[in-house]
Amino acid sequence: MRLVKNIKQYFGEIFHAIRSLITGMKVTGYYFFHPKEIVTQQYPENRETLKMFDRFRGEVILIHDENNLHRCTGCSACEIACPNGTIEIINKKDVDPETGKSTKAIDKFVYHLSMCTFCNLCIIACPTDAIKMAQTFEHAVFDRSKLTKVLNNPGSKLMPGIRE
């Protein structure tokens, strides 16, 4: 009797095993015969159609309008907020042509992309919404020095009415 039971168990195990293996093969087989379900993208080919989400944090940029005006007063709040010393703000004295008073303005807004961890703290620290995160993500360059960027355009000026 026990022998029969053992033999039954032996073959039971085999059939259970085969069944479980076939269930697994069904899953992979389904995807093999349904190539429409392929999820991967062909990245460099789909550059035109690839759109990142609005909030995606690619790199810090200084917003300029069409008249080459920006909103950065050079208050260094972002520089303080940054945990990694990514941002360096170099200020200069600007003389107002109308009143003759000298005011503080940015000379260079230096951004070290190589040190940035994209934590977004500089953006929320900015009191004048002068900087934002851009959606670019192809940052690879052949020379490390190219990752140190000056964000303010040459000749750009502070937008009037920001400092108040």
Partner 1 sequence: MITDKTVLGSETQEYFINMGPQHPSTHGVLRLLLTLDGEIIRKVEPHMGYIHRSIEKMCEKDSYQQIVHLTDRMDYLSCHINNEAVCLTVEQGLQLEIPERVKVIRTIISELTRLSSHQLWWGVMGMDLGAITTFLYGFRDREMITDIFEETCGARLTMNYNVPGGLMFDIHPNFQKRTKDFISYFKTKLPEYKELLTGNVIFEERTKGIGYISKEDVISYGVTGPSGRGSGFSCDIRKHHPYSAYDRVQFKEILYEDGDSYARYMVRMDEMVESMHIIEQLIDNIPEGDYKAKTKAVIKLPAGEYYKRVETARGELGVYIISDNKKSPYRVKFRSPGFSNLSALDTMARGCKIADLVAMMSTLDLVIPDIDR
Partner 2 sequence: MTLLNFSIYDFSALINSIDAWLVETFSPTLGHLIGLVLVGTCFLIFTALLGLSLVYIERKICAFFQQRLGPMRVGFWGTAQTVADIIKLLFKESLITKKSDKFLFNLAAFVIMMAPFIVLSAIPFAKGLQALDLNIGLFFIISVSSIGVTGILLAGWSSNNKYSLIGAMRSGAQIVSYELSVAISLMTIVILTGSLQLSEIIASQSDGWWIFKGNIPAIIAFGVYIIASTAETNRGPFDMAEAESEITAGFHTEYSGIKFAFFFLAEYVNFFIISAVGATVFFGGWMPLHIGDATFFNSAMDVIPPIVWFFGKIAVIMFFIMWFKWTFPRLRIDQLLTLEWKYLLPISIINLLLMSIVALKGWHF
Residues numbered 2 to 21 that lie near partner 1 (CB under 8 A) are 16-17, 20-21
Closest CA to 11 of 48, 19, 71: 19
Enumerate long-range contacts of 45-52, CB under 8 Å, 24 or more apart.
Answer: 51/135, 52/135, 52/137
Burial 106-126 (b: 16+ CB within 10 A, else e): beebbbebeebeeeebbbebb
Question: Stretches 20-28, 48-56, 131-139, 151-159: which one binds partner 2 (CB under 8 A)?
Answer: 20-28
29 binding partner (options partner 1, partner 2, none; Cβ < 5 to 8 Å by kind) = partner 2
DSSP, collapsed to helix, strand or coil, labels residue 69 as strand
Binding mask 29-48 for partner 1 (x = CB under 8 A): ----------x---------
What's 66's DSSP letter?
A: T
Determine if 80 is a binding residue for partner 2 (CB under 8 A).
no
Cα dihedral across residues 21, 22, 28, 29: positive or negative: positive
Determine if 57 is a binding residue for partner 1 (CB under 8 A).
yes
Q: Which is nearer to partner 2, 32 or 56 (CB)?
A: 32
Q: Which is nearer to partner 2, 38 or 140 (CB)?
A: 38
Binding mask 31-50 for partner 2 (x = CB under 8 A): xx--x-xxxx-x--------
Query: Token pair 């479980």 is at which residue?
Result: 20
Q: Which is nearer to partner 2, 15 or 160 (CB)?
A: 15
Pairing of strands 157-158, 87-95: unpaired
Residues making contact with partner 2 (CB under 8 A)? 14, 21, 24-25, 27-29, 31-32, 35, 37-40, 42
